[in-house]
Amino acid sequence: MSTTIAGIKIPDSALARATTDYIRDIESDLLYHHSRRVFLFGALSGERQQLAYDPELLYVGAMFHDLGLVEGHRSADERFEVDGANAAAAFLKPYGLSDDDIEQVWLSIALHTTPGVPKHLRPTVALVTAGVEMDVLGMDYAAFSTVQREAVVHAHPRGEGFKECIICAFADGLRHRPQTTFGNVKTDVLKDQEPGFKPMNFVEVIRNSPWTA
């Protein structure tokens, strides 16, 4: 039976149910509830903008977007976004989705920490990022009604310490591969959480390249 939260129907297809079961078994309560809120805020943003989005693709993108932070699903040398995107693509293949649909989900996860780009792409890509930015950063907070925000958080609580807990979850998934945060907003996470962390500097990379001029 489908569930409706803040006027948004949670997808209830076989794929959506399998996605829910898979992520619920793997991720912590923190990441699971965050991912569900990302879907809901992304869908609400899509409704507000009158975008023709595919709820099922948006749901899969939202639910898998942080999987690359989780032990057993994170690599040693890829960005966590790419780990999650690759996992989602592999998960989707047995369900007979088109290559285009799988690519949309892949991009929605791979680009969700790349500000300024996703909003110019397909709705699945744009709305996963919109949901992440609302739930983590509070971007466009006032564009969601109090009723909408309260309904989402009632169904999937943030808890009192979500802000600090999500920062810690990011750090836990990244500290073994700090080089992957180069050019990434997650550099700020390691600067905050890892004493002695020295991020790569873009200007220094240019100046120290093997070119003579």
Quickly list DSSP for 101-149. HHHHHHHHHHTTTSTTSGGGS-HHHHHHHHHHIIIII-TTGGGS-HHHH
Domain spans of the chain? 4-160
Interatomic CA distance for residues 104 and 96, integer angstroms: 14
Contact present, 31 and 103 (Cβ < 8 Å): no
The answer, yes or no, to whether residue 22 has pLDDT greater than 70, is yes
Tens digits of residue pLDDT in 73-88: 999 999 999 999 999 9
The answer, yes or no, to whether residue 179 has pLDDT greater than 90, is yes
User: Is the overall model pTM greater than 0.75, yes or no?
Assistant: yes
Question: Considering the chain, what is the average pLDDT of its residues?
Answer: 97
Tens digits of residue pLDDT in 59-68: 999 999 999 9
Assigned fold of 4-160: Hypothetical protein af1432 (1.10.3210)
Interatomic CA distance for residues 79 and 145, integer angstroms: 34
The answer, yes or no, to whether residue 153 has pLDDT greater than 80, is yes
- In the DSSP assignment, the letter for residue 196 is T
Contact present, 68 and 87 (Cβ < 8 Å): yes
Residues 6 or more apart from 213 whose CB is under 8 A from it?
none
pLDDT bin (cut points 50, 70, 90) of residue 1 is low
Average pLDDT over residues 200-213: 96
Residues 6 or more apart from 52 whose CB is under 8 A from it?
123
